[in-house]
């Protein structure tokens, strides 16, 4: 049996190994995708076939979505499910700033 040290592997980000951090990360991605579209939680819930209370709890990170729910949300947004639950930066929400030109 392998001994557990309590430390996380350097290769695995915290959100991949901690369910609460994962739920918070996914909730933030859902909220950003919804806001980018100018949708309310009620509008997202209707588009995904969910209750608005459930969407609110997902966005707050109180719950992590099942694969079924993540797929329904991704479909409503027109995104790949990886954009919501995959590793790394969100595909749709965070935009990088263009580099600014430096003046001498």
Least confident span in 1-10, 13-22, 56-65: 1-10
Both structure tokens of 75: 């479909």
Joined together, the tokens standing for residue 60 give: 């707050």
Span of 12-26, 48-62, 75-89 with lowest mean pLDDT: 12-26
Q: 14-85 domain in CATH 1.10.10.60?
A: no
Rounded to the nearest integer, the mean pLDDT of the chain is: 80
37-70 per-position pLDDT tens digit: 999 999 999 999 999 999 999 999 999 999 999 9
| Cα gap 74→76, rounded to integer Å | 5
- Does the predicted model carry a pTM greater than 0.75? no
- The residue ranking higher by pLDDT, 15 or 12, is 15
**Mean pLDDT score, 14-20:** 75
């Amino acid at each position: 049996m392998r001994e557990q040290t309590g430390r996380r592997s350097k290769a695995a980000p915290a959100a991949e190994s901690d369910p609460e951090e994962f739920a918070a990360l996914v909730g933030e991605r859902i909220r950003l995708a919804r806001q980018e579209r100018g949708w309310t939680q009620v509008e997202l819930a209707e588009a995904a076939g969910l209750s608005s209370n459930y969407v609110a709890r997902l966005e707050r990170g109180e719950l992590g979505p099942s694969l079924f729910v993540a797929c329904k949300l991704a479909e409503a947004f027109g995104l790949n499910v990886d954009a919501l639950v995959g590793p790394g930066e969100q595909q749709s929400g965070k935009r990088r700033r263009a580099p600014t030109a430096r003046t001498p």
